[in-house]
Amino acid sequence: MEMLVVDRMVAILQLVPLNGLKETPKIQEMDAAKVAKQPRSRRTQWKQWAACISATLSMVAAGTVYGWTTTMQKRLNHIADDLPFRIEADESSWVVSVTVIGSMIGPFYGAYVAASYGRKLCLLATAAFYVTGWLLVIFAQAAWYLYLSRIILGIGVGMSYTANPMYVSEVADVNIRGALSTLIAVNVFTGSLLACSVGPWVAYRVLGVVMLAVPVLFLASFVWFPESPYYLVSKGRSAEALRALRFFKGLGDEAELRQELELVRRNIGEQASSGQSSADELKFKFSDFLLLMKTNNRRALLIVMALILGQQLSGNFSTMQYLETMFETADSAVDSHVATIIVLAVGLVSGATCTLMVEGAGRRPLLIFSGFGCAVVLGVLGAYLAVDHAPKDNVNSAINLLPVLDVIVFQVVYQIGLGTMPNLLIGELFPTNVKGIAGAIVTVFDGLTGFVVSKMFEVIFTNVGPHVPYLFFSASCTILFVFVYAFVPETKRKTFNEIQDILAELKPFEQSAFSASCWRLCARGAGKPAAVHASPGKVKAEEA
């Protein structure tokens, strides 16, 4: 009986054209059942975990780029025996901000390399930029060495942010795609924590050597893993794609492998524009910008860019870069180095918790909780900084623990949703042939807003008052909370076609007809297949 079911599914797959045809819900159900129950082979997912963990080590390297400035900024402004030179405060702010120049170049270069030569090669190429950048830091003799190194490191960061969502989303099975995608943000915190944990207690050049070791480790581990099956299929390299699928999914039966290959081909074919062959779909062309004007892609881009803007206007990046300065300004009762390490460690644990929660709780609930929580805790921190001008004799030392505790709570609520979900949604909302250009645009937008916010943060923090930016950040998170509730769809365990249907019917503050019909079918435990095909008007009439 089971063999008969499999044979019928193979026949159905052979009848489905590769271009321009959407999967019916019935076929989606059969695909899901086929993936869940494989009597002839023992499917495994541990190699998917291993590959994605190794790939996101490049994000650990990106995290060290940010963590280095957090732990070294104060030391560079003062003469010390282990420092080869001293920089002024204005030069220090440029060391923090100039990384954005590289991060605006890196995404487009990364999208080109990922589309033309593969996601794997693009990720491996980031190691060259990280190694070069850290060598410049180690042997720096003047401020311009640091400027150049930060630009080069920024290119590596931009490439990492562009290629990682593509590789992870194309390698991972649907039921673990969300968890693996959260590793992108989690490992950025891992790198920052590494830099801030080592930096205060080692010499300048020793820290540079430790940072250099991270991309070397990434290169040595990731080089052994296969390329994305989606990229291989798009280039007509079916034999290599079969080997990659066998590796990632642990399949040994040739018939099952062929079925998986057909699913990949159909997913790519359904994302192609009319008249475009699957072999040409993943080539990087500037005409791909026009693909973002399609309704679903445009809505997906606006959703992700709004979340990225929310990340920056939450003040997380600025706070992390100036964390020790902020704790000293607030006269924290905890040593600034220790407080920084505690905050980053909590952020890392929170991000790891999100990895475990995201497939159960879903993307949308975590984002809603995160937006609301960030608004509250940032408002509390802003209020504390606003009244923290009284004589220190009148301030209880326990009260001075508030900024540390508040930033710790902020990291918990931020990393559970807002800090991890945007990178995940890049891999889920966009078609394969749009992910590269969309990721590049999002990363550049992230860099530009980060540059503006970090520069303005320092000016306002110093000249107007430390409480002003945090009250503004609180208001921004409140607006983000409303936006998420109104516009961000749930993508948990959804196939590509289901996500595209949700985007097509997306309505602010309303449940789409597609989501409503799916919910009704789930509630009944069984339903009429035709109800899923019903138009929005028919669904509303049926509900009435």
Structural contact between residues 321 and 100, judged by C-beta atoms closer than 8 angstroms: no
Place of tokens 């070069």: 132
Q: Could you give the CA distance from residue 27 to residue 35 in angstroms, rounded to a whole number?
A: 12
The low-confidence residues of the chain, meaning pLDDT below 50, are 1-40, 270-282, 389-396, 511-519, 521-523, 525-544
Q: Could you give the CA distance from residue 363 to residue 428 in angstroms, rounded to a whole number?
A: 11
Region of 226 please: left (phi>0), alpha (psi -120 to 50) or beta: beta
At 521, list the tokens.
Answer: 């079918």
What are the C-alpha distances in Å from 258 to residues 115, 239, 245? 24, 10, 10
Q: What is the DSSP letter of 288?
A: G
Across 252-289, b (16+ Cβ under 10 Å) vs e yields eeeebbbbbbbbbbbbbbbbbbeeeebeebbbbeeebe
At 111, list the tokens.
Answer: 């999208």
The Cα diameter of the chain in Å comes to 82
Contacts of 345 by beta carbon, 8 Å cutoff, 6+ apart: 193
Place of tokens 């590796």: 247
What are the C-alpha distances in Å from 19 to residues 165, 230, 277? 24, 15, 8
Q: What pLDDT is stored for residue 26 in this prediction?
A: 41
The residues with which 510 forms a beta bridge, in sequence order, are 507
pTM (global) more than 0.85? no
Q: What pLDDT is stored for residue 10 in this prediction?
A: 37
Q: What pLDDT is stored for residue 265 in this prediction?
A: 82
At 24, list the tokens.
Answer: 């019916």
At 65, list the tokens.
Answer: 């780029």
Q: Could you give the CA distance from residue 395 to residue 372 in angstroms, rounded to a whole number?
A: 29
Residue type at position 478: T
Nearest partner of 225 among 121, 111, 116, judged by Cα: 121
Structural contact between residues 406 and 346, judged by C-beta atoms closer than 8 angstroms: no
Contacts of 311 by beta carbon, 8 Å cutoff, 6+ apart: 317, 418, 419, 422, 446
CA 405 distance to own-chain centroid:
26
Q: What pLDDT is stored for residue 223 in this prediction?
A: 95
Q: What pLDDT is stored for residue 254 in this prediction?
A: 80
Q: Could you give the CA distance from residue 122 to residue 111 in angstroms, rounded to a whole number?
A: 8
Q: What pLDDT is stored for residue 41 in this prediction?
A: 53
Place of tokens 């995940």: 424
